Amino acid sequence: MSMFLRSALPILVMTVMLTGCINGAQVRHPQPPAPSPTPAASPTTTASPTPTPTPTPPLSPAPAGLGPGVTLTAKDLSNTNLRGIDFTGATFTSVTFAGSDLTGVSFRNARLTSCQLVSCNLTGVDLTGAVFDACQMPSLSLVGFGLVGFTSASFTACQLVSIDAHGLSFQGMHLQSCQLVSSDLRGCNFTGANCQGSQFVGSDCTSAIFDNANLRNTDFTLTIVDGATAVGADLTGAKGNLP
């Protein structure tokens, strides 16, 4: 072998080896970065619909023929505008006044039997000498309406349940066999009132005055009577938390 071949042989061998390595190697392409995980969509909170208030029905105009001395039987005067009408000496039997506007109405010397007065506007109502017999008057507020002649009115066997009468004067009134149940009677003045047979069950009579009142056969079960007085009252047959 010539000197030239001997010197070139190592170079040839290395060239062949490099070529084989290059041909046998796998060409690795750079991989794209893994996409970031998509954040989970937060659940959409659906707002609760705002409740639509029940519209107050418009008041009906007062029917014709109403006035002093009128006699009405089984008449529905609910949601009626009766503002300022003079019912002096009128007679009402089984008449409904639910939701009516009685502002400035005069019931002077009127008689109401088995009537319903529910959610009425009593601003400035004149009750002088009015007689209520077996009437239903639940949840009425009698405070702050400037009632005229209230203490001269008479109530017999009336349902005065859950009324607000705090601080009101019932002095000398006729309140016989009435249901004054679950009512706010704080600070009321019943001095000399005839409450015979009435029920005050569950009412708040804190600081009420029952001095010289007729409380015969009354029921004060579960009644709050803290600070109430009944000096000289007739408590014959009365039961419950007596003042």
Q: pLDDT digits over 212-239, tens only?
A: 999 999 999 999 999 999 999 999 999 9
Confidence of residue 9 (pLDDT cuts 50, 70, 90): very low
Task: Look at residue 45 and tell me whether its pLDDT is greater than 90.
Answer: no
Q: Can you give the pLDDT at residue 39?
A: 52
**Average pLDDT score over the chain:** 86
User: How many CA atoms within 13 Å lie on the side-chain side of 241?
Assistant: 15
Distance CA 94, CA 100 (A): 15
What pTM does this model have? Answer: 0.76
The residue ranking higher by pLDDT, 51 or 152, is 152
Distance CA 88, CA 197 (A): 29
The residue ranking higher by pLDDT, 187 or 5, is 187
Q: Can you give the pLDDT at residue 58?
A: 86
Q: Can you give the pLDDT at residue 16?
A: 42
Task: Look at residue 52 and tell me whether its pLDDT is greater than 60.
Answer: no
The helix or strand, by DSSP H or E, that contains position 19, with its residue range, turns out to be: helix 3-24
Cα 198 from chain centroid? 26
Nearest C-alpha neighbor of 129 from the set 152, 156, 104: 152
Task: Look at residue 51 and tell me whether its pLDDT is greater than 70.
Answer: no
The residue ranking higher by pLDDT, 108 or 59, is 108
For β-strands 154-156 and 174-176, DSSP reports them as parallel
The residue ranking higher by pLDDT, 13 or 137, is 137
Task: Look at residue 131 and tell me whether its pLDDT is greater than 80.
Answer: yes
Domains of the chain listed by start with CATH number? 69-159 (2.160.20.80), 161-243 (2.160.20.80)
Which single residue is written with the structure tokens 């070529």?
Answer: 19
